[in-house]
Amino acid sequence: MTRTSFDYLIVGAGFFGSICANELKKRGKRVCVIDSRNHIGGNCYTEKRDGIQVHIYGPHIFHTSNERIWKWINQLVSFNNFTLRPVANYKGSIYSLPFNMWTFSKLWDISLPEEAKAIIESQGSAVPNEPQNLEEQAIKLVGTDIYHKLIKGYTQKQWGKEPASLPASIIKRLPVRFTYDNNYFNDKYQGIPIGGYTQIFEKLLEGIEVRLNTDFFTDTLPGYDNLIYTGPIDRYYGYKYGELEYKTTQFDHRLIKSTSNYQGVAMMNFTDIEVPYTRIIEHKHFENTPSDHTWISYEYPSQYQAMKTEPFYPVNDTYNNEMYAKYKSLAEKENKVFFGGRLAEYKYYDMHQVIESALDFISNHKL
Ligand code: UDP
């Protein structure tokens, strides 16, 4: 074996790849991590701009109910007590998210949970049977008024598809509450790492050879015995069964020098189809950063083009899931090639779920 040879080549320096690298190094393995981008951290990457930690690939709010994962990440970084309480802007009117008594009272001028339930039940009766898609699921959960003002346009923009052609599971991510509680998540633990996410990856990858701007498919690679691949699985197999669909987002990051507080909240969703972006993120609110300026980001969902744009979200409808199943059966036959993470497993993972899957992968992995 030559000096440039590694026990493991890991493709992708996001959570899955970085955790595997860290754990394998601890077990005495020689590891090299490559990433096609010019930084580590995948889509969790944050960058300090004018004193403010900017979430370059969209807002990342850490949340979990899993004690083990919470303890694990707190060994690497300290969290603040940020709680996501976003608002929806529909044609200039502001509504509370997720759907809760603040939303219902503003929409229908009511104050009691029983009143809200009666309205939703009556509107939801438009879907008498088990919901078959996102549109039906949304109407059943929150009724037609909320569907038309706060869900339909946002979903069409985000996914570039009609809600009736999307899986019901997507909307089930959002809580519906008959209390005046506008916490976006139900999890026991929530927060933002003080000082941003990138430091977590710096710690995980400490002492490990990391080659940035290195593409697995087109660049010269070092020798290796095992491969851990966290990129899109269809690309790995040369799109043999077709291209899996992913959604992507483009960000327009802007410094506003003239104001210390642009929108008064970290995340404002624009739910009207006429507004071209889905949301504006104001980063300083994540860490309550004092400054007389602010950084905001407009998010524009856009169509993913294989090998040209960055894939963000898997589109887990039946067509794509069936295609993924074929790739997965190829992956299962591999001997020294392992797949993990949002893109390779084609799963709409949150951060805590990827972390758990990487830690499980390592503990079940035969060295
Ligand atoms: N959604 C919506 N209106 C909103 C926020 C979310 O209709 O104001 C729907 C939309 O279909 C979205 C889904 O709920 O894709 C899940 O939202 P979430 O905030 O979990 O998406 P992510 O955090 O992945 O961007």
pLDDT in tens, the chain (367 residues): 445 699 999 999 999 999 999 999 999 999 999 999 999 999 999 999 999 999 999 999 999 999 999 999 999 999 999 999 999 999 999 999 999 999 999 999 999 999 999 999 999 999 999 999 999 999 999 999 999 999 999 999 999 999 999 999 999 989 999 999 999 999 999 999 999 999 999 999 999 999 999 999 999 999 999 999 999 999 999 999 999 999 999 999 999 999 999 999 999 999 999 999 999 999 999 999 999 999 999 999 988 888 888 899 899 889 999 999 999 999 999 999 999 999 999 999 999 999 999 999 999 998 8
First to last CA, the chain: 18
Residues within a 6 A CB radius of ligand 1: 88, 97, 150-151, 154-155, 158, 170-171, 173-174, 269, 271
**Predicted pLDDT of residue 158:** 93
For the chain, how long is the longest CA-to-CA vector? 73
Round to whole Å and give the CA distance between 102 and 93.
13
Torsion angle (degrees, nearest 10) of CA 287, 12, 332, 348: 30
Cα separations (Å) of 218 from 39, 307, 331? 18, 11, 21
Q: In terms of Cα–Cα distance, which of 205, 210, 194, 168 is closest to 35?
A: 210
Distance between Cα 162 and ligand 1 center (Å): 14
For the whole model, what pTM was predicted?
A: 0.95
Mutate to test the pocket of ligand 1, among 173, 190, 297 (most ligand atoms within 8 A of CB): 173
- The two structure tokens encoding residue 184: 């976006």
